[in-house]
Amino acid sequence: MEAFDFIIVGAGSAGCVLANRLSENPDHRVLLLEAGPKDSNPFIHMPLGYAMTLKSTTLNWQFPTLPDPHTHNRIHKWPRGKALGGSSSINAMIYIRGNPGDYDGWQQMGCTGWGASDVLPYFMRSEDYQHGQQPGHGVGGPLPVREPAYVHPMSKKLMDACAQFGLPRRHDLNIGVQEGVGLCQFTIDRGARMSTARTFLRQAAHRPNLDIRTEALAHKILFEGKRACGIRYQNAGKIVDVAARQEVILSGGTVNSPHLLELSGIGDAARLNAIGIRPLVDLPGVGENLQDHYNAALSWQFKAGTPSINAMARGLPLLGSLMRYLLRRDGMMSVGPAHITAFAHTRPGLKSPDIQFHATPATLDGDAYAQNKLVFHKEPGLTLGACVLRPESRGSIHAKSADPQAYPDITANYLKTQTDQETMVDALKQTREIMAQPAIAPFVEKERDPGAAAQNDADLLAFARETGTTIFHPVGTCAMGPADDKRAVLTLDLKVKGVQGLRVADASIMPRLVSGNTNAPAIMIGEKAADLILGKTPPAAVAWPCHGEQPSG
């Protein structure tokens, strides 16, 4: 059996970081396995190609949830990256770290060493910040962090409206107080997506001690007793076993990591026996604690002649934008779909924002989108979505059979709790208040969805249940926790409880969802996991420039 020191399963946001950091030592032989293809599709690298990668059936898994009883029994499709770079190759490229109180909250839950001042050095180590070294930001790292090279004029109007509503303008939503509105920071450089494959992995790919294998679907973890000793995977119809001399690290993400653990006999023993898998370790927390940001969006039709991506997405304007991008790498196609974001409170007494807004100066035909077709409305418009940042609702992800090619069952449980329902309704009310501000109201012809028929809280909640869905931030299914936490899957150094030689390093390790987009935190987890695996002394703690904000609840 071919042997490596470290085997990493999953070349996503964290896995590519690990491949880079673990292979820096030429004495370490490292194998990186990815179920999807190479990141050669041109839509991956064109930022506005996001619209195509999001609906792709070859570049992402398109996991279906089970019918969700809390959202009209709908099945939600979860795009998760299935290519080198993982979800960093198909996402909207927004770089948001979350609130420092999120990480201090982890520490208060018993996750010592994961507080805000502990994780900030890892965020800084990864990045090459556009404006240079300064408090809270680093330079020289593999990951470019940039402000948008192009901002749509109606995005600017919306920023003005948010300020009139009472959300302070922020020049940097990753440091300072989080509440407010500002330009998104992106993992984009010179008009190209900077996935972890394009940055961390490309930097390391030439090393003779790093072996990268694509189209390699992991079937199970191999064990000698209770020590992980390798991986069985499938490539081109053949089953291959490879050995790990030191460790196996799962970086498959919030869906695939718990699924592979269960396929390998690690999980709730009764559940595994019921689907024909012989339990190795009874670990009931595997696949539990699922959390995600549920997003519902209102849309407005603008008056004729108002600038909108709708008009730019067809005919000569589209051709002009494409030519501008190809010649100059700027313009509409050089940035992600959302140019600005905002954080707000829905009620007094909260120590930090509990909702986030994402805005796109365009509107889509929802029926066509549900059928994987991207059709913009002919009339100009804008979509303003809101998500509940710290949901109480919890779901689960579990293997449905011993077949490694069968997708697991995903129970989302969106809007299950009353608090989540009330927060969502309050968020939708705020979107209407923002759009009623004088900076943007004169451009509005009408509210397209849900429209004038939705007037009271019950109407808005029904609209959210009927139309909302994931905003692609699932976490928590292999949660870390202190030794006395019976539901925790991992120790604080990310080792799987009850076995040796096996860790998990991806967004599934989060005990609680962060207040913002999850790609930057997943990269941070990869950075910190590398130090833990190599036994390095952690960097000195660095005070987060923002203090005084803590999440409540």
Looking only at the bridges linking them, the beta strands covering 188-189 and 192-193 are antiparallel
Residue 398 among the catalytic residues: no
Sign of the C-alpha dihedral, residues 309, 312, 314, 319?
Answer: negative
Collapsing DSSP states into helix, strand and coil, what is residue 1? coil
Rounded Cα distance between 6 and 328, Å, is 42
Q: Are 42 and 328 in contact (CB under 8 A)?
A: no
CA triple 495-501-504, angle to 5 deg: 40
Rounded Cα distance between 155 and 158, Å, is 5
In the set 28, 70, 293, 473, the catalytic residue is: 473
Rounded Cα distance between 451 and 299, Å, is 9
Tell me which residue of 491, 420, 60 sits closest to 253, measured CA to CA. 60
Contacts of 240 (CB under 8 A, 6+ apart): 216, 232, 233, 234
Q: Please return the burial class of 277, using the count of CB atoms within 10 Å of its CB with bins 0-12, 13-18 and 19+.
A: buried
Q: Are 530 and 538 in contact (CB under 8 A)?
A: no
- Residue 462 tokens, joined: 């029904």
Residues with catalytic function: 473
